[in-house]
Amino acid sequence: MTRDVLSPSRSLSNPDRLPVMVLTGFLGSGKTTLLNRLLRSGPRSAVLINEFGSVPIDQKLINEQNIPLMTLSGGCLCCQVRGALAPVLRNIRLAWHRPGAPAFDRVIIETSGVASPEPVMDTLLRDRWLSRNYRLDAIVALLAAPVAESILDRHAEAQAQVAWADRLWISQTDLATPTQLERLRVRLEQLAPATPIFQSEQGDAALAALSRPLPHGPRPLPESREQPDHPFHSLAIQLPAPVAWPDLHQILLEVLAAHDEIVRIKGMVHLTDQFAPVAIHAAAGHLFPPVPLSPRVIEDRLSRLVFITEGSVQRLTDAFINRWPAIYGNARVHPH
Ligand SMILES: [Zn+2]
């Protein structure tokens, strides 16, 4: 990647330009958690969520229910569904200040965990209409403290996210040792020496700092490049009936132990003994405890699980067919 082309300088205070924040971060880095905090505390936001899996989960994990929310799923924003970005952004901008439409003061784009921010920036800054009507205020890259080092070692996508970010946010600091945190900070200072670093346990001041436009003036434009070829695939499973947590827990542990090609599991699941659904997360081989979600106004009681693999998803699909037919047989399944 190079940074040798500059976008034209434009006034930061142009009232016709809608501020936009891009949230990046590898699979499982905590983007949705941060998004929820930003929605609670920051300017009113419209949200565009891009998910790699064909069955969208993240929109179900957004606590705020009365915001303009759009989803681009079934592919990554930096490649497979990139062409859809400009029209969606055009529509959001046209809805800004439209009488009767929900009010918002900025747009937050949550990219898929495998996306490089370059093509997103390219669309925002190079498309003439979009660049006149949007102001790219912040590119935030998230890193989950306990696993960020190994993810940076293994995934070029994660390195690109850090390289293009103008702010870094370290999440899950409570799950990391002081040594892990220190090593990560040293690593980030090498990869992105001038980029401010914030940590998830910092309070609202850090959140506000994420939302503040940096005085960096013209933004470097990435060079147009070939579409990246991510090595990731996904398997989405939808379960029509609630499941017992001990059974699902056991299956997820077995799946994780047997399939090191899994880089991420996420889901919204209805359990037999709870009215409200729970969020399920696993990343870097670790299954997190389920997180209760608030009951939704409209709820279909359908559980959704997405498994993202590095490399082929076939072995995992076969394993579900052969080892967990009770789940698989009743489910709607979408390999991707
Ligand atoms: Zn991509």
Query: Which tens digit of pLDDT belongs to each residue from 40-82?
Result: 987 899 999 998 888 888 888 888 778 899 999 888 888 888 8
1 pLDDT higher than 50: no
Q: Are 166 and 211 in contact (CB under 8 A)?
A: no
Domain residue extents for the chain? 5-221, 232-335
pLDDT digits (tens, 9 = 90+) for 130-149: 999 999 999 999 999 999 99
Mean per-residue pLDDT for 27-43?
A: 91
* For the ranges 53-57, 150-154, 198-202, the one whose mean pLDDT is highest: 150-154
pLDDT, residue 217, reads 59
Structure tokens at 206: 């850090």
pLDDT, residue 58, reads 84
Model confidence at 4, pLDDT cuts 50, 70, 90, reads very low
What's the CA gap between 7 and 91, in Å, rounded?
A: 23
Alpha carbon of 315 to ligand 1 centroid (Å): 23
pLDDT, residue 5, reads 39
What's the CA gap between 98 and 108, in Å, rounded?
A: 19
> Please, what is the average pLDDT of the chain?
86
**CATH number of the domain located at residue range(s) 5-221 in this protein:** 3.40.50.300
* For the ranges 40-54, 69-83, 167-181, 218-232, the one whose mean pLDDT is highest: 167-181
Alpha carbon of 129 to ligand 1 centroid (Å): 23
Strand ranges (E), 161-258: 167-171, 197-199, 220-221, 232-239
Decide if 5-221 and 232-335 have a common fold: no
Report which of residues 333 and 313 the model is more confident about: 313
pLDDT, residue 10, reads 43
Q: Which residue do the tokens 């990046």 mark?
A: 24
Alpha carbon of 11 to ligand 1 centroid (Å): 31
Model confidence at 218, pLDDT cuts 50, 70, 90, reads low
Mean per-residue pLDDT for 236-262?
A: 91
Alpha carbon of 192 to ligand 1 centroid (Å): 21
pLDDT, residue 7, reads 40
Reported CATH class of domain 232-335: alpha beta
Alpha carbon of 93 to ligand 1 centroid (Å): 24
Alpha carbon of 78 to ligand 1 centroid (Å): 4
Report which of residues 11 and 113 the model is more confident about: 113
- Residue 243 CA to its chain's centroid (Å): 26
pTM: 0.84
pLDDT, residue 220, reads 65
Model confidence at 11, pLDDT cuts 50, 70, 90, reads very low
What's the CA gap between 249 and 30, in Å, rounded?
A: 21
Strand ranges (E), the chain: 5-6, 18-25, 45-50, 69-72, 106-110, 134-144, 167-171, 197-199, 220-221, 232-239, 262-269, 278-283, 286-287, 291-292, 303-310, 332-335
C-beta atoms surrounding 4 within 10 Å: 8
* For the ranges 6-15, 60-69, 115-124, 173-182, the one whose mean pLDDT is highest: 173-182
Task: Report CA-CA distances (Å) from 336 to 142, 231, 233, 266, 329.
Answer: 25, 12, 6, 15, 18
Alpha carbon of 168 to ligand 1 centroid (Å): 20
- CB-based burial of residue 149 (10 Å sphere; 0-12 exposed, 13-18 middle, 19+ buried)? middle
Triad 30, 31, 33: Cα angle to 5°:
65
* For the ranges 53-62, 92-101, 171-180, 208-217, the one whose mean pLDDT is highest: 171-180
